[in-house]
Structure 1
Amino acid sequence: MPTRMSVFDLAELAADVGPNPRTIGVLLELEGPAPDVAAVRAVVGARLPLAPRLTQRLRRVPAGAGRPLWQRVAVDLDHHVRARTAAAADLLEVAAAILAEPLDPARPWWTLTVIDLPARGSSALVWSSHHALADGPSVLRAVLAVLQEGTAPEPLAAGPAGPAGPAGPAGPAAPADSVPARRALTFEAWRARVPGRGAVAGLPRRLLELREVRTSTGVRVPASRLNQPITAGYTLRVVEVDLAPLAGGARACGATVNDALLWAWARAVHLQLAAAGTAPAPVVVSCPVTVASAAIENRVGTVLIPVPAPGESAAQDLRALAADTRRRKARITGSSWWLAAQVFRAVGAVGLYRTLVERQRSITTLLTNMRGPAEAPHVLGRRVTRAVPIATLVGNVATVAAALSCGGRVVVTVMCAPQTAGLAGRLAADVRDGLATVAGLAGPSGLAGPPEPAGPPGPAAT
């Protein structure tokens, strides 16, 4: 049976206001030539039952009949799994172009593109999916579930808003869910709206949500070249560093890898703002966080972290930032996420979402971070040599960064809108310098023990 979209799914749907589609994804660079696309389709089709959300599409319902549905449908793998050839030098540009392509809402919201790089003798995979389908960590789990070899993971549930899916094949021959009649949908929707005995018991939670919203709001950021309404398109630059020395340098200052990434990215943004003559002010970074879960779902909140301009000592800056993020993490309960999602839905419903985000002055930029496998994964018979996360741009936030740790390496993707494309190379170079500075803070004992995990306890970085 179809199931209702969650409030978080609908918040992501409301955020799909352009100019870029609300897509997120990952670029996996592989050893060896591109696998045969027919063989890739066969592997994906056989393993789709491990991620049933990938067999579901958005199904809208009549007015008054409640939230839209996730409906299981037959998956046309000829449409979803594609192949193309590219020059190695153009790989990032090709990946950006794929993520900029709108996805067909009449089908499950994802594509997988197999890219042959003949001049280099290697290949790559580009995964693209709508953010309403799942958040970043969920997408990474789904990709590895259907592509990683030598594993037999448990099926990934579709989250609270979706069933675990059929036990049988979920490829092209899978039957579609039948949609209940309008009358039944409307009755079920209105019954769910009737307050029950839990409504009074839930009042303390609602008060906690309001308190958490109040404590998570940031300062008003000044107008700058980094906060201007964006146009369609992405420019990508990639920074790659070893995880162990970065974790060691962070740990020497009582910080985590998350803190190191936050400091390096905010430092890079500060340097560009200073070069443009913008008055000194904290850079307010929006950091998405998710609840640790094995499900394929959306459960995303944010914490706003104001980062002061870099001082004379990177170690002192990092210690102060780590102390601040610890305090903020301790206050994160996730209670306000449901309320924030409802607000986004309401703003989207009246057509004001794009206007709101193009004029916002709450954040300067965004940093999202995901933790991948500790060992370099093998997919489709090939080792992953680099995993590059790709986020999205919306509103007036013209520069964002996405990080992913995988196989002992940390990859940071700097994403710029056309308005700030000229800054992409400099921002990437400054991020690289900042991460190298943190790594250099590790003394002989700084590398003792395993690297710090890339995400905080409790809610995990996305």
Structure 2
Amino acid sequence: MDRTSALDSAFLHVENRTAALHIASLALFAGPVPTHQEVRAAIARKLPLAPRCRQRLVGVPFALGRPVWVDDPDFDLGRHVHRAAVPAPGGHAELRGLVERLLSEPLDHTAPLWEDWVLEGLADGGWALLTKVHHTMVDGIAGTDLLSTLLDASPDGDAVRGDDWHPGRAPGGVRLVADAVRDGVALRLSELTSLPQTAGAALGGGLRHPRAAAESVYAAARGLIGYATNARPTDGTSLVGPIGRDRGYAWTEVDLARVLDVHRRLGGTVNDLVLAAVTRGFRELLLARGEEPSAHKVRTLVPVSVRHPDQRGHLDNRVSAILAELPVEIADPHDRLTEVAIRMRALKDSHEAQVGEQITGIADALPALPLAAFLHLAFRMPHRNLTTVVTNVPGPTRPLYLAGRRMVATFPYVPIGDRLRSGIAVTTYDGRLLLGVTTDRDSMPDADVLVDGITAGFAELAALAGTRTGRTTHRKAKVAR
């Protein structure tokens, strides 16, 4: 019985009727389409490697503690692996419509928080697998790890141990309360006993290494100032506002080798190139809507993984974030990339991500009930601090298979909520850079303008690299590669 962290449970507290907070992936496979029995058998044999897939969340009575993961005594794979036919003629538009409908539906909180949908009937003879996993269960990296775990590294299937799983006994209400009280008391005692030691170590370290201590304090202060600066509202725009429950979803891809070549020729990081292309997309969308693409109009949340190498494979959330303003006011693609690179380097140097990690650590020590009440209130108050979210998670570098069929591509999906009407997720797989764009379907019927603008952003950077070989982003030393 594992207790969720404050960050894990936060995704439960802020979910509502207009914000289904599952992450997802749309994987395209080469044919022929496997039978339903083949798919279920392929996934079933991998479940021992992902115990969380057979666990559900149970709340603590009176919210005296955060929810816990327990074995689902009624686990039935049939509740999680489904099949649907793409309407004729099975083209991109029909697949997109079905995927959007499925992504708009929330997961069942009374069962393990994931589901797979085999989508057949594609005109090219292939098929798709839509995987949905609640954000309480995984972050972006953990979601990628889960996909790699449930699929195979070869068409013949991976060798796995036999399945001897039997659900553990479900805890009763008395035990849930007792364990929550015990864990809370243990945490408070740990804080009290460690405080003198921590304070002593900090004081001793400061006396022995005053310069390092001063730099640490300065870094923390810069991070706090960075977050405080981004607390100011963005300029008004139609990109932010009330949203409905229906989601729009579009996807596109770019040749990864071409992106890496642009990275080598123009400098910056690959993530800088992604953000520069996304900036072009939002600039095009604003112009198409007759809005001035001025400064301080588009601020994005950029998740930053704080997962250590030995924590790979753990299904939970270990992520912080930085807040970046996208320079949509800049028309020249090279100047736009340069500005993005400079801003991202400054944000990394400001230690905002480290401060965010410390804040989530503090939240773990707070009582569950007032923290939940605060989250419910905070995410229901109108604000203009964010415009979108852009997440970039490296994916598998080798081909993966399900039921002997090769996965051709996997497009990521990031959920949106509150007043965010769009989100962009990026991943890599087998030589491709793959992007998924989530939108509120009602308020963003022009989402294709954004997607086409992002694609054009990559194309103009590639053209720029070809005509300005060797030119790099500069201004203030060299940008990190």
Normalised by the length of structure 2, the TM-score is 0.82
Identical counterparts, % of pairs: 26
SS of equivalent residue, structure 2 residue 107? coil
Which residue of structure 2 aligns with residue 198 of structure 1?
A: 194
Alignment check: 8 A CA contact 2:321 2:356 kept:
no
| AA of the residue aligned to 2:286 | L
Please say if residues 64 and 186 of structure 1, whose CA atoms lie closer than 8 Å, have aligned partners that are also in contact.
no
Q: Does structure 1 retain, via aligned residues, the 8 Å contact 2:157–2:403?
A: no
- For 1:38 and 1:153, locate their aligned partners in 2 and report how far apart those are by CA, in whole Å: 18
Matched residues in 2 for 1:329 and 1:214: separation? 13
Match of 2:69 in 1: 70
Kindly report structure 1 stretches of 4+ aligned residues shifted beyond 6 Å: 151-155, 203-210, 444-447
Alpha-carbon distance change, 310 to 126 in structure 1, aligned in 2, over 3 angstroms: same
Shift of 1:186: 2.3
Q: Does 1:7 align with 2:17?
A: no
Counterparts in 2 of 1:268-417, with a 5 A limit?
268-279=281-292, 280-282=294-296, 283-292=298-307, 293-294=311-312, 295-330=314-349, 331-340=351-360, 342=363, 346=370, 348-350=372-374, 351-356=376-381, 359-417=382-440
- 1:382 & 1:63 partners in 2: Cα distance? 48
Amino acid at match of 2:44: G
Structure 1 residue 84, shift from structure 2 partner: 1.5
* Cα drift, residue 422 of structure 1: 1.9
The question of 1:227 aligning with 2:240 is answered yes
Note the alpha carbon deviations across 1:240-268, whole angstroms, 9 max, x for none.
Answer: 11011112213322212211111111221
Residues 230 and 8 (structure 1), Cα distance of their counterparts in 2 relative to 1, 3 Å cut: same
Alpha-carbon distance in 2 for matches of 1:168, 1:401: 39
Match of 2:171 among 165, 179, 196: 179
Asked whether the 8 Å contact 2:327–2:339 carries over to 1, the reply is: no
Counterpart residue type for residue 163 of structure 2 = P
* Counterpart amino acid of residue 392 in structure 1: P
Cα deviation per residue 1:136-189 (whole Å; 9 max; x = unaligned)?
A: 22112112201224399999xxxxxxxxxxx9726xx52234426233442333
CA 1:316–1:421 in structure 2 vs 1: closer, same or farther (change >3 Å)? Answer: closer
RMSD: 3.0
Q: Distance in 2 between matches of 1:446 and 1:145?
A: 41
Q: Does structure 2 conserve the Cα–Cα contact (< 8 Å) formed by 1:239 and 1:428?
A: yes
Amino acid at match of 1:281: A
Distance 2:43 2:221 in 1: 43
Question: What are structure 2's unaligned runs of at least 5 residues?
Answer: 203-215, 471-478
| CA–CA distance in structure 2, aligned partners of residues 380 and 269 of structure 1 | 40
Q: Deviations over 1:332-356 (max 9, x none)?
A: 5534235258399756425314422
Contact in 2 for aligned 1:285/1:363 (Cα 8 Å): yes
The worse-fitting range, judged by mean Cα deviation, of 178-187 and 98-107 is: 178-187
Give 2:96's match in structure 1, choosing from 88, 92, 95: 92
Q: Is the 8 A contact 1:248 1:446 kept in 2?
A: no
Q: Partners in 2 of 1:397 and 1:100 — Cα distance? A: 15
Distance 1:260 1:132 in 2: 30
CA gap of 1:252–1:225, structure 2 versus 1, over 3 A, is same
Residue 160 of structure 1: aligned partner: none
CA–CA distance in structure 2, aligned partners of residues 363 and 92 of structure 1: 27
| Contact persistence 2:256–2:431 (CA under 8 A) | yes
Note if contact 1:149-1:380 (Cα within 8 Å) is conserved in structure 2: no
For residue 216 of structure 1, what is the aligned residue in structure 2? 227
- Whether the 8 Å contact between 2:40 and 2:77 is mirrored in structure 1 is yes
* Higher Cα Rg, which structure: 2
2:153, 2:399 within 8 Å by CA — same for their partners in 1? no
1:386-436: CA deviations, max 9, x gaps?
211111110111122111111111121222212333221111111111011
- Native 8 Å contact 1:80 1:112 kept in 2: yes
Could you tell me whether the CA contact under 8 Å between 2:295 and 2:329 is conserved in 1? no
Matching residue's letter, 1:137: I
Query: Which range moves more in the overlay, 421-430 or 197-206?
Result: 197-206
Higher helix share: 2
Q: Which moved more, 1:329-338 or 1:129-138?
A: 329-338
Q: How many residues align?
A: 433
Q: Which amino acid aligns with 1:187?
A: R
CA deviation profile, 1:63-117 (whole Å, cap 9, x unmatched):
2642211112243101111111114332122222222222121211000111112
* Secondary structure of the structure 2 residue equivalent to 1:262: helix
Residue range with higher mean Cα deviation, 194-203 or 130-139: 194-203
Instruction: State how far apart, in whole Å, the 2-side matches of 1:202 and 1:269 are.
Output: 46
- Bigger mean CA offset, 274-283 vs 399-408: 274-283
CA contact (8 A) 1:247 1:256 kept: no
By how many angstroms is 1:235 displaced? 1.3
C-alpha separation in 1, matches of 2:453 and 2:242: 24
* Aligned equivalents of 1:148, 1:415: Cα separation in 2: 28
